[in-house]
Amino acid sequence: MSSLPIRFPADFLWGSATSAYQIEGAAATDGRTPSIWDTFARTPGCVEGGDTGDVACDSYHRVEEDVALLKQMGARVYRFSISWSRVMPEGRGATNPAGIAYYRRLIALLHEAGIAPMVTLYHWDLPQCLHDEGGWLNRQTAHDFAAYANRMFEVFGETVPYWFTINEPWCVSFLSHAMGHHAPGARDLQQALTVAHHTLLAHGLAVKAFRQRQLGGKIGIAPNVDWREPFSQHPDDVAASERGLDWFNRWFLDPLYHGRYPEALQAHYARLGAHVPVQDGDMALISMPTDMLGINFYTGSYAMARHTPVALPEQPDAMAKIDAVLDLATVNVPGFAKTDIGWDIFPEAFYKVLLWLRDEYGNPPVFITENGACDNTGPSDDGQVHDAVRVAYYHRHVIALNRALRSGCDLRGYTAWSLIDNFEWAFGYGKRFGLVHVDFTTLARTPKDSFRWLQRLIADGGCEA
């Protein structure tokens, strides 16, 4: 056994993660049709620099190279997503043989390399044709998703041991339909609530289809969670932090684990005229037991009650309404270092949120589906990429993970975000999260110091404190 102070079980599943639109490119190749992200990226002003995923990292044509990198890292699992419009160009109905062949090849390469495939079914790239029929606002999309998922289970069910339905439902709903930062760029509270419900419903319907097939694999959902540390133990600050957790975490996790939405927040939204379109039987579907909970974690913050109540402007937009409901101030505690995307580095928040999940939801098996840092460091004169901020970020978060594990959290694995630098959504290619540097002119891949750090961690089964 390793003598390192920070040790993980031998069967802990280490690996890395990506998503289809962020890395594949080949946007119009072999029958793929546009998704809402192709449309959004082409809309002036939506993505920095006018970047698109047309070419991205061209992983569609470089899949051998990417799997070789995973093998070199020692990854035991690779989390990637399937592009719905590549495998089912009309959103429903017939599948596209070329699209299926691409993922079949990727999965075969992973198996040859001894790496377990972990599939995310929806990482934000809704087929544009379904969006034209209302997209996630249309309840039918939940059923279309389940039919697409069911087809993927049929085709890949025997070769894929791990499945996640929806990546970050908060982003699909609030970030995309209330804040307007992501495709399709709407700014409406009612839309966000409707979409949140339909994505959860889509998840439930897919889990039901998965169970009916009696496959041997495991299935879950991958929400992003956040931590709101009360700024003080003053009851007002504690209450403010709870409201923050309600809107970001419990809004999704309570339906999944308790079969209901948080009541107080629901009542607040209702006072603003926004309702959840729940129909009979929905909550039972949404709360169907899953095998694991995927957690994406990046940052946290301190929450303080506001001392002057938030007044609604005359014509409030969605965020003004949410602000008024939450009635909390996010406090930047001086001294926090930030990553290159401006997010506080707060590993203690990772530890705390994992303990909170353990206590609030009956210690479900958790898989860390994403964690990582934006560090834009490029190649030095020696040709190497010395991404010291990312190395330190991983080190501190792996220690926090270890503390949670020792505290009894049922943690099963960790896929670092991301294998390679890629299309960082509205930020385009200017924000780098990769363990491997990508030169977006030549598409050459260069493993960074953080890649070697993770490689060492996996090989040693632990690290120094």
Query: Where does this chain bind ligand NOJ (CB under 6 A)?
Result: 19, 22, 167-168, 296, 370, 417, 424, 433
Least Cβ distance, residue 432 to ligand NOJ (angstroms): 10
Residue closer to ligand NOJ by CB (options 103, 429) is 429
Residue closer to ligand NOJ by CB (options 167, 402) is 167
Residue closer to ligand NOJ by CB (options 129, 341) is 341
The C-alpha torsion from 304 through 309 and 310 to 315, rounded to 10°, is 170
Structure tokens, 337: 């270092």
C-alpha pair distances (Å), 199 with each of 164, 210, 435:
13, 16, 30
Beta strands in 223-365 (DSSP E): 227-230, 292-296, 300-305, 328-331
User: How would you class 233 by CB atoms within 10 Å of its CB: exposed for 0-12, middle for 13-18, buried for 19 or more?
Assistant: exposed
Least Cβ distance, residue 393 to ligand NOJ (angstroms): 12
Question: What residues contact 280, with CB distance under 8 A and at least 6 apart?
Answer: none
Residue closer to ligand NOJ by CB (options 317, 340) is 340
Residues 396, 299: Cα–Cα separation, whole Å: 12
Omega of the bond prior to 184 within 30 degrees of 0, cis? Answer: yes
Least Cβ distance, residue 280 to ligand NOJ (angstroms): 32
Residues 430, 411: Cα–Cα separation, whole Å: 33
Least Cβ distance, residue 417 to ligand NOJ (angstroms): 5
Give the DSSP letter string of 41-89. HHSTTSSGGG--SSSTT-TTT-HHHHHHHHHHHT-SEEEEE--HHHHST
Q: List the one residue out of 116, 203, 104 whose CA is nearest residue 412.
A: 116
Residue closer to ligand NOJ by CB (options 164, 257) is 164
Least Cβ distance, residue 20 to ligand NOJ (angstroms): 10
Structure tokens, 232: 């003080």
Instruction: Label residues 345-377 b or e (16+ Cβ within 10 Å = b).
Output: bbbebbbbbbbbbbebbeebebbbbbbbbbbeb
| Contact of 463 with 454, CB cutoff 8 Å | no
Residue closer to ligand NOJ by CB (options 344, 424) is 424
Least Cβ distance, residue 124 to ligand NOJ (angstroms): 7
Residue closer to ligand NOJ by CB (options 325, 368) is 368
Least Cβ distance, residue 339 to ligand NOJ (angstroms): 10
The C-alpha torsion from 63 through 68 and 74 to 75, rounded to 10°, is 0
C-alpha pair distances (Å), 184 with each of 136, 141, 408:
10, 15, 40
Active site residues: 168, 370
